[in-house]
């Protein structure tokens, strides 16, 4: 069945009421629209960007500059992965600097994914975590810089969680500002549609070996290496098994408990930090993943048979003795003299 098509017809009348030319009008109180205008201007700036990585970086910067958020990190789901893999883009460091987090990722549990997807359907705009660790992320390690609230705002497009924007106030320790978070939720809703079809253009680093080929213990160890403060319960949740099953499987395969392995890993991190020149034991212990100095002290003494300060004092004594011997052998020149025999040690 065919239908006869007529050419389009030009309207000669004005679409405005009365046929008069419209005048541009300003809002009586411009301040009432400043937040909306800031949001629209931010999104318009992103739309003009053709480079996806530049757009993502600018999104994090605009969330700080225009929305007033303090520290922001943006993760997007990798559509190429069958698992719920969320990969880093850009974030905020301990000095408010923008950090490249494209080499980071985490595996989202099915329950967390559904919680993010149904946030707005349940009448909320974001997910609030009151007692959470604050991290400064780097390619090599995650450093704990404090503890407090974290807000996770989903980027949802067409029923899919495209990504998550995380923000906190680790530097100022300010309370959550509902107004800023509401604007952030609107911002995330707008940019979700920008990113949903552009994720293939992100300069993500290659993922490590597929976790499906690793044993439970190997996957648990990988999680501990990526996040020094993660709990066994959280690892089990990410793996989709019970904490008891994880504990039994880990000990059967590795010959030691998950807790003992985690403690040894933390002590190793602490020793590396001290050996690199850090004399602040509390800071080094927290960066290694210990929740308190008391916990660190107890684990340290159990594993090494000495106290941290005794270890640090002995290290300084050995270093001072080595410098003294070297000074005698070089005659203060910094170079060993050929006619001076070396002292036995």
Question: In this predicted model, what pLDDT tens digit does every residue of 82-135 receive, in sequence order?
Answer: 888 899 999 999 999 999 999 888 888 788 888 898 888 878 889 998 878 788
Phi first, then psi: what are they for 290, rounded to 5°?
Answer: -75, 140
Does the pLDDT at position 339 exceed 80?
no
Whole-number Å distance between alpha carbons of 327 and 317: 15
- The CATH fold assigned to 33-201 is Beta-Lactamase (3.30.450)
Percent of the chain with pLDDT over 90: 24
The first and second tokens of residue 180, run together, are 């800023």
Helix-strand-coil percent breakdown of the chain, rounded to 5? 45, 15, 40
Does the pLDDT at position 335 exceed 50?
no
When pLDDT is cut at 50, 70 and 90, the band that residue 321 belongs to is low
Which range, of 228-237, 268-277, 298-307, averages the lowest pLDDT?
268-277
Task: Give the mean model confidence (pLDDT) for residues 76-82.
Answer: 90
Task: Give the mean model confidence (pLDDT) for residues 19-29.
Answer: 49
The pLDDT value given to residue 166 = 95
Write out the residue limits of the CATH 1.10.10.60 domain(s) in the chain: 212-305
The pLDDT value given to residue 199 = 86
Which is higher by pLDDT, 217 or 327? 217
Which is higher by pLDDT, 138 or 27? 138
Task: Reply yes or no on domain 212-305 having CATH 1.10.10.60.
Answer: yes
The pLDDT value given to residue 171 = 94
Does the pLDDT at position 334 exceed 50?
no
| Per-residue pLDDT tens digits for 121-153 | 878 889 998 878 788 887 667 777 888 899 999
Evaluate if pTM is beyond 0.75: no
Percent of the chain with pLDDT over 70: 77
Write out the residue limits of the CATH 3.30.450.40 domain(s) in the chain: 33-201
The pLDDT value given to residue 75 = 95
When pLDDT is cut at 50, 70 and 90, the band that residue 17 belongs to is very low
- The per-residue DSSP string of 39-68 comes to HHHHHHHHHT---HHHHHHHHHHHHHHTT-
When pLDDT is cut at 50, 70 and 90, the band that residue 303 belongs to is confident
When pLDDT is cut at 50, 70 and 90, the band that residue 69 belongs to is very high
Task: Give the mean model confidence (pLDDT) for residues 56-61.
Answer: 94
Whole-number Å distance between alpha carbons of 294 and 163: 38
Scanning 118-257, the segments in alpha helix (DSSP H) are 178-195, 216-226, 232-239, 243-254
Answer yes or no: are the C-beta atoms of 250 and 257 closer than 8 Å. Answer: yes
The first and second tokens of residue 221, run together, are 């160890």
The pLDDT value given to residue 338 = 45
Mean pLDDT over each residue of the chain, to the nearest integer: 79
When pLDDT is cut at 50, 70 and 90, the band that residue 197 belongs to is confident
When pLDDT is cut at 50, 70 and 90, the band that residue 28 belongs to is low
**In angstroms, how far apart are the furthest CA atoms of the chain?**
110
């Amino acid at each position: 069945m065919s239908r006869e098509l007529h050419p389009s017809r030009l309207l000669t009348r004005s679409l405005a009421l009365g046929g008069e030319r419209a005048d541009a009008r300003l809002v009586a109180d411009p301040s009432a629209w400043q937040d909306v205008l800031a949001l629209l201007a931010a999104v318009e700036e992103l739309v003009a960007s053709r480079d996806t990585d530049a757009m993502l970086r600018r999104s994090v910067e605009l969330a700080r500059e225009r929305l007033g958020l303090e520290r922001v990190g943006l993760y997007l789901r990798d559509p190429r992965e069958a698992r719920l893999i969320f990969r880093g883009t850009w974030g905020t460091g301990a000095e408010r600097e923008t950090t490249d987090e494209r080499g980071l990722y985490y595996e989202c549990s099915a329950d967390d994914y559904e919680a993010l997807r149904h946030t707005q359907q349940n009448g909320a705009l974001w997910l609030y975590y009151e007692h959470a660790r604050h991290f400064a992320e780097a390619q090599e390690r995650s450093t704990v810089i404090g503890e407090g609230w974290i807000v996770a705002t989903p980027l949802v497009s067409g029923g899919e969680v495209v990504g998550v924007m995380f923000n906190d106030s680790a530097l100022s320790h300010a309370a959550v500002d509902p107004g800023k978070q509401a604007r952030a939720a609107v911002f995330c809703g707008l940019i979700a549609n920008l990113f949903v079809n552009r994720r293939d253009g992100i300069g993500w680093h290659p993922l490590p070996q597929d976790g499906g080929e690793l044993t439970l213990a190997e996957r648990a160890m990988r999680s501990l290496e990526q996040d020094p403060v993660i709990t066994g319960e959280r690892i089990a949740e990410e793996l989709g098994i019970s904490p008891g099953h994880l504990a039994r499987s880990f000990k059967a395969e590795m010959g030691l408990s998950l807790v003992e392995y985690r403690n040894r890993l933390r002590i190793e991190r602490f020793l590396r930090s001290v050996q690199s020149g850090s004399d602040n034991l509390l800071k080094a212990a927290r960066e290694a993943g210990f929740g308190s100095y008391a916990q660190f002290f107890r684990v340290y003494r159990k594993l090494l048979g000495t106290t941290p300060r005794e270890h640090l004092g002995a290290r300084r004594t050995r270093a001072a003795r080595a410098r003294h011997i070297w000074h005698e052998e070089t005659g203060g020149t910094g170079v060993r003299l050929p006619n001076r025999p070396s002292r036995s040690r």
